[in-house]
Structure formats: C-alpha cells, structure tokens
Amino acid sequence: MATILIVEARFYDHLNDMLIAGARAAIESAGHTAEVVTVPGALEIPGAIALAAETGDYDAYVAIGVVIRGETYHFEIVANESARGIMALTMDGLPIGNGILTTEDEAQAIRRADPEQLNKGGGAAEAALAMLKLRQRWG
C-alpha cells in the first residue's frame, strides 16, 4: 500500500473539491491511502512536492489546482511555470500526476473537474500511480 500526497492550490473551492474527490476515489480504489496538503497557489505546488519528497513519507504525488484565464498575462505565467516545475520534478524521478486545470472559463473547469464528467482529478491520480509502478519497476 502506497501513500499518495495530494497537493492542492485552493483557490476555487468547489472545483478543487471535485478534483480531490476524483483523485481520492482513484487512489483508494487502487488500495492506497491519500493525504491532502494545501498551498496558496499553483506556483507553490512544485515547491511543496519537493519539500514533501525530502521527508520520504510519500510514494507519489498528485498536483491539484485550477487556473482560469483572466484579462492579464498572469494566466500564462502560472500555467507554464507550474507545469515546468512539476515536469522538472518528474525528470528527477518523482511520480507525479498533474491535475492542474488551465481553462478559458469556469464552465470548462467544471466539466474537467467533475468526477461524473471528465474526472481530471481521477486521471491525475491514475497517472501518478502509473508512474509509481514504473519507478518501482526501474527504481
């Protein structure tokens, strides 16, 4: 049994609740346990994962958050840099599923977050578990 850390950037509560529900369901249905930690924003997710990895307490990670395009360039910075940070950690061998939604509007985010629709939280958890299996195989 593995322990999976869900790191969420809690900005849109109702969307995060759906993403976390999907992630938890996927993790628990695979026979593993999940813990959740909250960070201020999507840019802090890679740093929190890096800090948690130093403890050795977790086997894999799921990044959860929602970035909705606004009127400024900030959307691109947050979307690109959070993804870059997560990618750098995966290249260092950490099994991470990226469930940070980057959408044009809230309707797109709801469709992707809802476990009854696209279930991107569940998909991110499944990706983390798949990467954990590869790490165990080749680690």
String of b and e for 126-139 (b: at least 16 CB within 10 Å)? bbbbebbeeeeeee
Annotated active-site residue in 74, 77, 80, 130: 74
42 known member of a binding site: yes
44 known member of a binding site: yes
71 known member of a binding site: yes
43 known member of a binding site: yes
Q: Which of 78, 94, 69 is nearest to 39 (CA)?
A: 78
11 known member of a binding site: yes
32 an active-site residue? no
With a CB cutoff of 8 Å and minimum separation 6, the contacts of 27 are: 4, 33, 34, 62, 125, 129
Angle at 132 between CA 127 and CA 136, to 5 degrees: 150
98 known member of a binding site: yes
88 known member of a binding site: no
The residues annotated as belonging to the active site are 74
Could you list the residues known to form a binding site for (2S)-2-hydroxy-3-oxobutyl phosphate, using ranges.
71-72, 112
Q: Which residues are annotated as a binding site for 5-amino-6-(D-ribitylamino)uracil?
A: 11, 42-44, 66-68, 98
